[in-house]
Each structure stands twice: as structure tokens, then as C-alpha cells.
Amino acid sequence: MAAAARTLELDPTHARAGRVIDDIVRLEKRIFPKHESLARTFHEELKRRNTGLIYSTPTATTGDGEDAATGADEEEEVVGYTMYTCATSLSASITKLAVKESCRRQGHGESLLRAAVESCRRRRVQRVSLHVDPARTAAVALYRKVGFQVDATVEGYYAPHRNAYRMYMDLS
């Protein structure tokens, strides 16, 4: 059963943006090994042209049509996030997708991934790609469920003897 959640695109000008980014950096440090973490460079990554960040909080949106940016409770924690970059009008990549360990298997990852794909679709991107460790079977299953397929195995992508699947989804 999916948990009630709110999925939001980060607005860097919103008063809460700094706290959201701090929450995400803490999650990044906890979830990813140091050599795979963007924690030290997260702010610079967000400044890149055509980079988007979508995050999830545990509370569902209010039923009164209040938008996510103004309706967010200041104390709500970030339970997951995805970062994507639209490199060209033809292609985009999902650079990060992470969900707090205690909140996994509740639909947050799928919601985040679908929201990122939809953002790319609105920008008229034709293909979205990502890399994933084949040993992360839950992640691979999630990507397949949403419609990604394996394009190739990239030898030594993460480290020597640690490969990655390059996966893609065509949006056209």
C-alpha cells in the first residue's frame, strides 16, 4: 500500500528551499558511499543549467487546491528525492534517485521517478537515461516497472569490477 505523500519540484526561491536541500544532503550522505555521493557538490549541481530536483514529503497534498510550495509544513522531512538534467532537447538523465530506508517500498521512489520523467516530457525531451548498479535489484525492478529498459552494461562504471546498467526510456 502506498503511503500518503506529496511530491514537489524544488523552487530555489522558496523560503523552505535551503532546509529542503539540507535534508537532501543529509540523506545523500546516509544512503550513498562517499565516492558516489553528491553531498559535497550538491549546491553546485543544482546551479547547473537544466537541472531539476523533485522531492517527496510524507504528507499528502491538502484537498483544497493549495499548491505544494505554499502548503508545505516547515517541519516536514524529506523522505526521498530525484535529480535530473536535461542535457539537450533530445536527452535527459536521472542523476540521483534516493528514498530514506525506513520509507522504501511505499511508492515514494515510483512517484519521484514518474514526476522526473513527466518534467522531462514537458520539456519535450525524447529520451531519458540513467545508470544503476545491477546488484541493486529493487532499483532495477522499479526502473523496469516505470518503463526503462537496459541498453548496455557499462564495465567499471562505479569502481573497478563494479558495473552499471545503462537504462533508458523513450518519451516520443
The full set of domain ranges for the chain reads: 6-128
What's the mean per-residue pLDDT of the chain?
Answer: 83
Rounded mean pLDDT of 32-58? 81
**Sequence-ordered alpha helix ranges (H) in the chain:** 17-31, 42-47, 68-71, 108-122, 137-146
| 3-class state of residue 170 by DSSP | strand
- For the domain spanning 6-128, the CATH number is 3.40.630.30
More confident residue, 11 or 118: 118
Confidence at residue 5, expressed as pLDDT on a 0 to 100 scale: 59
- The answer for residues whose C-beta is within 8 angstroms of residue 121's C-beta and 6 or more apart is 171
For the segment 147-165, what is each residue's pLDDT rounded down to a tens digit? 999 999 999 998 899 999 9
- Specify the length of the chain in residues: 172
> Which residue reads 532495477 in cell numbers?
140
Q: Which of the four pLDDT bands, split at 50, 70 and 90, describes residue 14?
A: confident
Q: Could you tell me the CA-to-CA distances from 40 to 55, 61, 95, 104 in Å, in that order?
A: 19, 31, 15, 24
Give percent of the chain above pLDDT 90: 42
Across 81-90, 95-104, 162-171, the highest mean pLDDT is recorded for 162-171
Lowest-pLDDT range of 66-80, 123-137, 143-157: 66-80
CB of 10 closer than 8 Å to CB of 17: yes
Confidence of residue 73 (pLDDT cuts 50, 70, 90): very low
State the Cα torsion 111-114-120-124 to the nearest 10°: -140
Max Cα-Cα span within the chain: 52
